[in-house]
Amino acid sequence: MLLSIKNITPLAGYVVIEPVEAQKQTSSGIILSTSSDEKPQVGVVVAISKEYVNEHGQTVVCPVKVGDQVLYKKWGGNEVKADGKEIQVLKFEDLIAKVK
C-alpha cells in the first residue's frame, strides 16, 4: 500500500513533518560537501493531532500549526515513506523550536 501525506492523520500527541532538503550552497556561494549522509533536522509541519489529556490530567495542545517550519530532535520520531518522500512522525516533545 502506498501512503499519501494527505491521508495521514496523526494520533494524539503527534505531528507529521516533511523534512526540508539540506542546503547544498551557502548564501555567499560556498558549495557544501555532500559526503555527509546526515539528514536534516528541519522540516515543515504537514499534519497535527488534536489536543489530548496527559497522565497528570493536564490538557496538552499542539505547539505548532500546519505550515510552521520546525527543528526536531535528531533521534526522535519515526520515518515513513509517503508520496515517494521520507516524512517524520514525531511526538510533540520531539519538537525543539519553530524557525522564522
- Find out whether 31 and 24 touch, Cβ atoms under 8 Å: yes
Per residue in 23-70, pLDDT (tens digit) is 666 677 776 655 555 666 999 999 999 899 989 999 999 999 999 999
- Asked whether the predicted pLDDT for residue 85 surpasses 70, the reply is yes
Higher pLDDT, residue 75 or 90: 90
DSSP result, the chain: ----GGG--PPTTEEEEEEPPPPSB-TT-PBPP----PPPSEEEEEEEPPPEE-TTS-EE--S--TT-EEEE-TT-SEEEEETTEEEEEEEGGGEEEEE-
Mean local confidence (pLDDT), 3-13: 91
Domains delineated in the chain: 5-21+38-99 (2.30.33.40)
pLDDT at 88: 94
pLDDT at 75: 85
